[in-house]
Structure formats: structure tokens, C-alpha cells
Amino acid sequence: MPDQSIIESLKSRVKAFGDQFYIQLGHVKTRNADGQSVKCFQEVFPIIFSEDDEAAYLFWKQIPIRFHYTYECYANIDALILWFEKMKDHRNGEHKCTLLTDVFIIELSATWDAKNIKIESNWMVKTNHQKLADALNEKGPLVATVDRFLGEWKPFLVQLVRGIDASGIAFDDPQEKDKIRRIKALTPYISDTSKLYAKDGV
């Protein structure tokens, strides 16, 4: 279980901003994977990061959702890349995807225009956290500016790319390796950055 004092401290910071979505990065140490290779991009994360590393937290309407650098990145990175690329390429659009955490199956349906994004969500539990899922479902749609929403993801994406580059890991499939370039291509497009890291130069 996460340290409750840390969670409460993060919640107080997020509440002070008043917005609906934030990401708190974890402090992770990149493992040296020089000489190792993977077939699929998502296989990178359990190799270069540890389950013992501090997790990131997604604050969804001020409720913290734990997001490990091992399992959650493994399970969701492809879906996130596709979603953010679609937002980059289309000023107006819609997208549906399913994200997974160790606790939740999250069905998302997003619509956006040049300024705002609205995300309908259905939270289902894999373990005994039904009350939390009910609370998240009762919160209703998440609404934010496109810049704010993508800006929260930007430091997280940068952190992943830096970890991969530093690890020295190799890819058997050029198309899988190209996903690093695709993530790097997203970050210049995202003009905003997380309020939690606005002064940190991430």
C-alpha cells in the first residue's frame, strides 16, 4: 500500500490548483540494460524499471490512481501513444480506449476540439476496491483544456524516453524502436507542462 502521508500531501497540492487532472511523477532509477534486447516496445518497462520504484499517481478529479512504471506502462503505452497522436493530428476528434492498472479496468471515451477535451469514463475493479470505483464513476466526465490535459502527460513521457535512452536496451523490431521517435515527436507539440513541474525544468 502507498504511504498515506504522501498521498495526503499530494492531494492537498492538487486541491490547491483546483483542476481536474494531474500527474505526480515517481522517483525511479533506470536499470542498465545494455546488451539486452526486446521484441515489443512495452517489454522495456519491466526490464529498465523495478516494481520497488516509487509509482506515479494520476489524480482524476482529485482521486489518486497509482500508475506503476512497470505494469501500467507495459499495459498502456501503446494505447496512450495512439490516443495522443490522434489528438496531435486532429484539432477536433473523438477516441475510445481501455486503460489498465493493477486495480482498475478503465473505459474512456474522449471528445475534443481545438480548446477543450471531455472524457467520459467507466471504472471497473479487478480487486476489492468497488467503493473507490463507485466514487470515480459518480464524479462524472473529466473536462479540461487540451493543453492542460496533454501538459500533465508531457513530463511523464519525457521521463520514460530518458529512461529508455539511458538504459542502453536494444530493439529487435525497427517498428517497435520507432515508438521512441513517436513519443519524442509528441512532446514538442505539447505546449503546456504539468503545474506540479512547471518550475522543475522537466
Which residue carries 473507490 as its cell? 132
Task: Output the pLDDT for position 74.
Answer: 96
Q: Do residues 142 and 119 lie in contact, with contact meaning Cβ atoms separated by under 8 Å?
A: yes
The half-sphere exposure of 140 on its side-chain side, counting CA atoms within 13 A, is: 2
Q: Do residues 48 and 31 lie in contact, with contact meaning Cβ atoms separated by under 8 Å?
A: yes
Task: Output the pLDDT for position 128.
Answer: 82
> Which residue ranges make up each domain of the chain?
4-192
Note the pTM of the prediction, 2 decimals: 0.86
d(CA 89, CA 42): 23
CA angle 4, 99, 48 (to 5 degrees): 70
Task: Output the pLDDT for position 193.
Answer: 74
| Sequential pLDDT tens for the chain (202 residues) | 445 655 565 555 555 445 689 999 999 999 999 889 999 999 999 999 999 999 999 999 989 999 999 999 999 999 999 999 999 999 999 999 999 999 999 999 999 999 999 999 999 998 788 999 999 999 999 999 999 999 999 999 999 999 999 999 999 999 999 999 999 999 998 887 766 665 443 3
Q: What backbone torsions phi and psi does residue 57 show, to the nearest 5 degrees?
A: -130, 130
Number of Cβ atoms within 10 Å of the Cβ of 139: 15
